[in-house]
């Protein structure tokens, strides 16, 4: 699956939603995005997004050992990240409903 140009607009939302479920590291998050059918996210897109979430205080990093190589940087959602997720999810639903109306899909 190729990256979609509009993915940048909702990548943070997807990352926060996955981090709400459990802390994870970059490659793990990329695999989960691909498994969900969102897109294959290149590292040059994913890691700047994770750094942005960290700098905004929406995700908190920590290092953990790995069984298969060097230690990994795990990200965990913060209380501010949860609040941002709720707000962004509401905006996404309104946007999705508007697009559904335009393309003739049933509104949820």
Q: Residue 46's domain spans which residues?
A: 4-103
| pLDDT of the residue at 86 | 97
CA distance 106 to 100: 6
Q: Is residue 108 part of a domain?
A: no
pLDDT tens-digit readout, 40-71: 888 999 999 999 999 999 999 999 998 888 89
Evaluate whether residue 74 is within a structural domain. Answer: yes
The residue length of the chain stands at: 108
Mean pLDDT rounded to a whole number for the chain: 90
* Residue 34 CA, distance from chain mean position: 11
CB 85 within 8 A of CB 16: yes
- Structural domain contains residue 13: yes
The answer to whether position 11 is within a domain reads yes
Q: Tokens standing for 4?
A: 């979609």
User: Could you tell me the CATH number of the domain that includes residue 46?
Assistant: 1.10.10.10
DSSP class of residue 54?
Answer: H
Half-sphere exposure of residue 36, counting CA atoms within 13 Å on the CB side? 14
């Amino acid at each position: 699956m190729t990256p979609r140009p509009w993915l940048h607009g909702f990548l943070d939302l997807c990352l926060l939603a996955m981090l709400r479920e459990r802390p994870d590291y970059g490659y793990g998050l990329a695999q989960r995005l691909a498994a969900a059918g969102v897109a294959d996210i290149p590292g040059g897109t994913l890691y700047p997004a994770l750094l942005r979430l960290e700098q905004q205080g929406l995700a908190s990093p920590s290092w953990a050992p790995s069984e298969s190589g060097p230690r990994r940087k795990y990200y965990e959602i913060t209380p501010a990240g949860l609040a941002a997720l709720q707000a962004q999810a509401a905006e996404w639903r309104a946007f999705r409903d508007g697009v559904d109306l335009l393309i003739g899909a049933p509104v949820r």
